Amino acid sequence: MNEIKIENNPSENRLNEIGVFDWPVWTKEVSEFPWSYSEPETCYFLEGDVVVTPDNGEPVHMGKGDLVTFPLGLSCTWKVLKDVKKHYHFG
């Protein structure tokens, strides 16, 4: 199965190349919830601290400054430790 990919503190050039700042913004308060991806998602964390645990997998820690790609078909649990604000793009 494809894995969650994380780029720590990508350059502003990289973010502009993929158009991150034109993507919509999603926010979420401290919480825990199941999620599954019916298409791939790429997101860039403006704020927050999160642990995403794939079903039958190891927890993955991510947060402010991370560019993260979630693969198609991933089922996981999101645990938001600090309120999240992120740009996101599906597909």
Among residues 59, 53, 69, the alpha carbon closest in space to that of 14 is found at 69
Q: Which two tokens stand for residue 86?
A: 């992120």
Q: For the chain, which residues make up each domain, given as ranges? A: 5-90
CA angle 22, 72, 42 (to 5 degrees): 20
Which pLDDT belongs to residue 18? 97
With H, G, I as helix, E, B as strand and everything else as coil, classify residue 84. strand
Letter for the amino acid at 36? S
Which pLDDT belongs to residue 42? 98
* pTM higher than 0.85: yes
Letter for the amino acid at 32? E
Which CATH architecture best describes the domain 5-90?
A: Sandwich (2.60)
Question: pLDDT truncated to tens, each residue of the chain (91 aa)?
Answer: 569 999 999 999 999 999 999 999 999 999 999 999 999 999 999 999 999 999 999 999 999 999 999 999 999 999 999 999 999 999 9
**What are the start-end ranges of the E strands in 1-40?**
5-8, 25-28, 31-36
CA distance 91 to 48: 23
Which pLDDT belongs to residue 15? 98
Q: What is the largest CA-CA distance in the chain?
A: 36
Which pLDDT belongs to residue 26? 98
